Amino acid sequence: MYLKHFSSRLALAAVVAGASIGTALAQPRSIADCHRIASSAERLACYDSATGRAAPATPAAPTQGTDFVPQDAMARAVALEAPSAKLSILDTAWGFDPSAPKYDVRFYRSNYFLVGRYTDKANVAPYVPLFEAAGEPVHLDKTEAKFQLSFKARFWASEDRRWGLWAAYTQQNQWQVYNDEISRPFRETNYEPEIFAAWHPGMDLGAGFKWNLLTGGFNHQSNGRTDVLSRSWNRLFLEGAVERENLVLSARVWYRIPESDEDDDNPDITDYLGHGQIGALYRWKGNSFSGALRGNVKTGKGAFQAGWYSPPFLGPFRAYVQVFSGYGESMIDYNWKQTTIGAGVALSDGL
């Protein structure tokens, strides 16, 4: 009985003592008391308590539920889902995208091989002296093969690729491949190296058109022949192109660099080939349609060329049909008017 009474008193005393200690701890200390605390964290809490300043609340950690997505992960997801800007025809052809290689080799003009090309009027006149010297009658087939190779190479570009320096080379051949009577010779070969600067203006012109290309430089064109068969000229040129979706329109003007009378093989060449050319290219469902018109307004002489390229049917190869009418299909024919049509395959449509 006595032990039970003593235990009750002891428990009551412990409760009272604990309450007294809690009350003492709850009471604010003086700044002097805080100064004697060794722990920095406890000393700071003491100062806050003594001065009546509440400790800053600890921000709650974000709930890691199914709806929680870190900001950096969300940004990456948005970047992946956002559609990349589609490059235009000219941007792609000329490597104007900043991610394009600084030094680059690309197709320039159309690359094709016409298995058969027929003319309504073969130009035999330039070859008469050669046949006469050989004691042979003049004979050229109206049907021959024709092909063209054309590449451009960028050897300098600005960091944003809007400016570049290029060198280009185009070679066109007319081949009497079906003419076994004269041993199937190449009737004509034209060599056309160029060096020029290219700029991407990126200027909106309205109606959906953008001015995306301006080039200017030097052009040499010749057939590499001598004497009566030699044809050549040198030009300075400026060319611009605008585009709208699948349509590209271009215009090129040139100035012929004068030559001395004794060195000029074709002094009247601008009377037939003119001082400029306009062109168009339209792509539709994998097909490409091209057209070019040049001439001399003063003389009324010029030429027109049109082409159709099918969608690729064997790797990069496409069916190609070409029609030409006028003067200057080749250098040897610069003053010869004819209409030709040919069919074959192509690797590129000129862009």
What positions carry a catalytic annotation?
A: 220, 222
Q: How far apart are CA 157 and CA 197, in angstroms?
A: 10
- Whole-angstrom distance, CA of residue 250 vs CA of residue 198: 14
| Distance, CA of 295 to CA of 234 (rounded, Å) | 17
Rounded CA-CA distance 97/162 in Å is 8
How many C-beta neighbours within 10 Å does residue 319 have? 16
Q: Do residues 134 and 166 touch, judged by C-beta distance below 8 A?
A: no
Distance CA 159, CA 154 (A): 13
* Cα–Cα distance, 342 to 115 (Å, whole number): 7
Cβ burial, residue 64 (10 Å; 0-12/13-18/19+): exposed
Task: Please list the residues that pair with 197 across neighbouring strands.
Answer: 165, 216
Nearest to 222 by CA among 337, 330, 107, 114: 330
